[in-house]
C-alpha cells in the first residue's frame, strides 16, 4: 500500500509541475501579446489576429492549466499533509495572487480586443514581471521550506 501511495504522489507531483510550467508560460505570454496588440486599430486585421491568438492562449493553455494546477496542487497538499506547514500557507497565498493576476489579465485582454486600452504599454511590461517574481518565491518556498 505504501508503494501505491508513493507512486500516486510522484505522478501528482509530476503533473503539477508540468501544468504549472504551461500556466506560467501562458502568464508570461499574455501580457506580451497585449503589448503587440496595443498599437493596432480596433477594426484592423492585426487586432483580429491578436484577438484570435489571445483567445487560443486562454482557452488552450491558460485556463485548463490553471484548473489542473489547482486540482493537482490541492491533492498534493492533502497527500503530504501540507496544511500544517507555514511554507505551504505562503505558497498558497502567492498562488491565489497568481490566480487573481490571471483573471485580471484575461479581463484586460478582453477589453483590448474590443478596442479599449485600459493599460499602457509600460504598465503591461511591468505586469509581465509579476509571474516571474511569484514563481521565484514559490520555488524557494517549496524547495527550501524556510518556515
At 75-122, the pLDDT tens digits run 999 989 999 999 999 999 999 999 999 999 999 999 999 999 999 999
pLDDT of the residue at 4 = 74
The more confident residue out of 112 and 7 is 112
pLDDT of the residue at 53 = 97
Structure confidence at residue 6 as a pLDDT band (50, 70, 90)? confident
- C-alpha cell of residue 69: 494546477
What are 23-81's pLDDT values in tens digits? 999 999 999 999 999 999 988 999 999 999 999 999 999 999 999 999 999 999 998 99
Q: Would the annotation count 13 as a binding residue?
A: no
Give the residue carrying C-alpha cell 508560460: 25
Asked if 28 contacts 132 with a C-beta cutoff of 8 angstroms, the reply is: yes
Return d(Cα 92, Cα 84) in angstroms, integer: 12
- C-alpha cell of residue 108: 484586460
pLDDT of the residue at 5 = 66
pLDDT of the residue at 42 = 87
**pTM of this prediction?**
0.92
- The answer on pLDDT for 2 being more than 90 is no
Amino acid at each position: 500500500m505504501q508503494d501505491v501511495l508513493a507512486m500516486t504522489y510522484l505522478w501528482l507531483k509530476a503533473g503539477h509541475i508540468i501544468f504549472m510550467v504551461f500556466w506560467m508560460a501562458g502568464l508570461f505570454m499574455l501580457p506580451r501579446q497585449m503589448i503587440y496588440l496595443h498599437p493596432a486599430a480596433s477594426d484592423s486585421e492585426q487586432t483580429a489576429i491578436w484577438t484570435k491568438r489571445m483567445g487560443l492562449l486562454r482557452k488552450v493553455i491558460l485556463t485548463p492549466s490553471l484548473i489542473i494546477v489547482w486540482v493537482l496542487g490541492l491533492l498534493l497538499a492533502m497527500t503530504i499533509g501540507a496544511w500544517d506547514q507555514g511554507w505551504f500557507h505562503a505558497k498558497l497565498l502567492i498562488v491565489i495572487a497568481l490566480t487573481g493576476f490571471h483573471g485580471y489579465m484575461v479581463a484586460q485582454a478582453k477589453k483590448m480586443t474590443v478596442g479599449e486600452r485600459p493599460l499602457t504599454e509600460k504598465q503591461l511590461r511591468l505586469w509581465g514581471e509579476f509571474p516571474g517574481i511569484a514563481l521565484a518565491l514559490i520555488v524557494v518556498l517549496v524547495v527550501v521550506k524556510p518556515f
